[in-house]
Amino acid sequence: MKLSKLVVGLSLAVGFMSGAAAQTTMKISISIAQNSHQGVAIDTFAREVEKRTAGRYKVQPFYSGSLGGERESIEAVQLGTQELTFTSSGPVPNFVPDAKILDIPFLFRDKAHARAVLDGPIGQEMLGKFDSKGFKALAWGENGIRHMTNSKRSVNAPEDLKGLKMRTMENPVHVAAYKGLGIVTTPMAFPEVFTALQQGTVDGQENPLSVIMSAKFDQVQKHLSLTGHVYSPGIFLMNKASFDKLSAADKQAFLDAAKEGVKVNRARVDEDDSKGVAELRSKGMTVVENVDKSRFVTMLAPVNAEFEKQFGKANIDRIRNVK
């Protein structure tokens, strides 16, 4: 055994013998199942925090919205009744309005573009905007590229969406855009979606393949169209006061642990995207793979003009122009 390992082992043992008085347990939550791209993110984060702080901090993961949906979890993190959450950007603009710009449909060319933006100066600046709202945003992760499902008909073109009743995230940009596509929008927290689809309260919903599979929406939805209409960022959020209390070294440990979580999170999204269509077909879904996205973009022109006014065309172009 290496001497360093022996020293760590001994100090841990001493820690336990003295009652390990310094151990702090924190909660982290996701709204979807453990067996998912978000599950691996928080499980890895928890393991890495424990390892990197030599067990002084323990992170307890909660899955499937057992602590509430994403909006409720973000609220709890802001208040400090829960230290951490991994969430999609869906309800984030209700807390940090500047983040709205990231949810514009067809803003990113693909995942590589989105990752480059989020990991680059624009994404890092955006993480800083959470500070004044009671959060420490540890890192951008990924929810994925969103596609539409419904129980009524194959969607090949935007005209097919007219009158479809769809659950949307509680996100003002999404709601405006989907209305522009003729969809009847019903914002709803994620934990309620399966039942709403099952009971026919809504006809459809939209989510990345990772979410569609982990939530087993194939059991309650017949049609999937690879609309790829919007990229959905994920984010590791921590209560600001809880983060500020950490030593400089522990702060770094939490930031690094989040980075490790993001790595496996993105790798799982890639895996899900590559096997998703075959898997969902094998479960009985009808999949339209070749969707003419330009027709959706054209239909969204008036809504996009509105977004340009609201967020500034230069700010949107800055994102679009990242190579």
Instruction: Please report, as ranges, the residues that interact with ligand EAX according to CB under 6 A.
Output: 31-32, 70, 88, 90, 143, 169, 190, 207, 211, 232
Give the pair of three-digit tokens for residue 139: 């890192």
Shortest distance, position 113 Cβ to ligand EAX, whole Å: 19
Shortest distance, position 170 Cβ to ligand EAX, whole Å: 8
Phi-psi region of 105 (alpha: psi -120 to 50; beta: other; left: phi over 0): beta
Shortest distance, position 219 Cβ to ligand EAX, whole Å: 17
Nearer to ligand EAX, 52 or 167 (CB): 167
CA dihedral of 49, 52, 58, 59, whole degrees rounded to 10: 0
- Count of CA atoms in the C-beta half-sphere (13 A) of 71: 13
Shortest distance, position 91 Cβ to ligand EAX, whole Å: 8
Backbone angles phi, psi at 315, to 5 degrees: -65, -40
Shortest distance, position 74 Cβ to ligand EAX, whole Å: 11
Shortest distance, position 208 Cβ to ligand EAX, whole Å: 7
Nearer to ligand EAX, 219 or 252 (CB): 219
Bridge partners, 192 (sequence order): none
- Helix/strand/coil percentages in the chain, nearest 5: 50, 20, 25
Nearer to ligand EAX, 169 or 202 (CB): 169
Nearer to ligand EAX, 111 or 318 (CB): 111
Transcribe 201-259 into DSSP letters: SSSEEEEEHHHHHHTTGGGT--EEEEEEEEEEEEEEEEEHHHHHTS-HHHHHHHHHHHH
Rounded to whole angstroms, the Cα distance separating 203 from 78 reads 33
Shortest distance, position 125 Cβ to ligand EAX, whole Å: 23
Q: How many other CB atoms are found less than 10 A from the CB of residue 116?
A: 16
Give the pair of three-digit tokens for residue 115: 């990752």
Nearer to ligand EAX, 29 or 88 (CB): 88
**165 close to 269: Cβ distance less than 8 angstroms:** no
Nearer to ligand EAX, 78 or 232 (CB): 232
Rounded to whole angstroms, the Cα distance separating 278 from 207 reads 17
Nearer to ligand EAX, 190 or 307 (CB): 190
Nearer to ligand EAX, 108 or 190 (CB): 190
Shortest distance, position 301 Cβ to ligand EAX, whole Å: 25
Quote the DSSP letter at residue 160.
G
